[in-house]
Amino acid sequence: MNQKAVTIRQSRLLGLDPSGGIERHSSPDTGKSLVPSRRRSKGFSLVETLIASGILSLVVIAMFGSWSACFKESRSASEMTSAAEIGRAQLEFAKMWGAGNVVTGTYNTSTSTGSWTGAYVPGTGWVTGGTAYFNFNGTPVASAAASGAYFSAQLTSTDSNVVQSTGTSYTIQATSLRAFIVKVTNISKGVTDVTMATNLVEGGL
């Protein structure tokens, strides 16, 4: 055997490519190279996972904040709608009864006008000095302490061109003008949500 053949044989036994490089042997079972690949291993590192989790958390927080704001706006809009319906109902009761049939209040001799404060309480009628109470949906409730009580409603009437009766009482005549104002208040906040007004004349406007 010549010298070159011996050198090639020795190189192969040492796992060296005769040309000078590393010889890549394959597994007899899988056929894959036994030399470790220098390519980057697949999968996420711990740092990448933490960064992804942080980004996801920020997205979730932003979505929750947006949803919370939308819910508050929707709730506020529903509250104003209910308050407006309650206010309109109080004024409509006054119109149905007419200027001469809604109870009168106290006559002021210095201004020659009368004034009345109260409310139309469903199931009871006109209550001088009274207040009507309702839940969030506008359903009447007994009092501010009742379960679900959310709104209170009260009317004031300033009556001009009236006729003084005995003492501080007065009567409505055909030319009397009754200016009604209703205020609907959020009980828990103590804030007036809606203020509405209408004018009634016994002989018609």
8 Å CB contact between 194 and 155: no
Give Dmax over CA atoms of the chain in angstroms.
148
What confidence category does residue 12 fall into, taking pLDDT thresholds of 50, 70 and 90?
A: low
Could you tell me the CA-to-CA distances from 185 to 7, 9, 95, 138, 198 in Å, in that order? 104, 102, 22, 12, 18
Question: Is residue 35 scored above 60 in pLDDT?
Answer: no
Q: Which whole number is the average pLDDT over 141-160?
A: 97
Closest Cα to residue 158, out of 137, 139, 177? 177
Give, as one character, the DSSP assignment of residue 14: T
Q: Of 147, 151, 155, 148, which is closest to residue 133 (Cα–Cα)?
A: 151
Using one digit for the tens of pLDDT, what is the confidence trace for 56-102?
878 777 777 676 677 677 788 899 999 999 999 999 999 999 999 99
The answer to whether the predicted template modeling score (pTM) of the entire model surpasses 0.75 is no
Provide the pLDDT for residue 41. Answer: 52
Task: Please compute Rg for the chain using Cα positions.
Answer: 44
Average pLDDT estimate for 8-22: 53
Q: Is the pLDDT of residue 191 over 90?
A: yes
Give the separation between CA 119 and CA 130, rounded to whole angstroms. 6
Instruction: Tell whether the model's pLDDT for residue 138 goes beyond 80.
Output: yes
**Cα angle 191, 194, 199; round to 5:** 135
Q: How far apart are CA 199 and CA 27, in angstroms?
A: 100
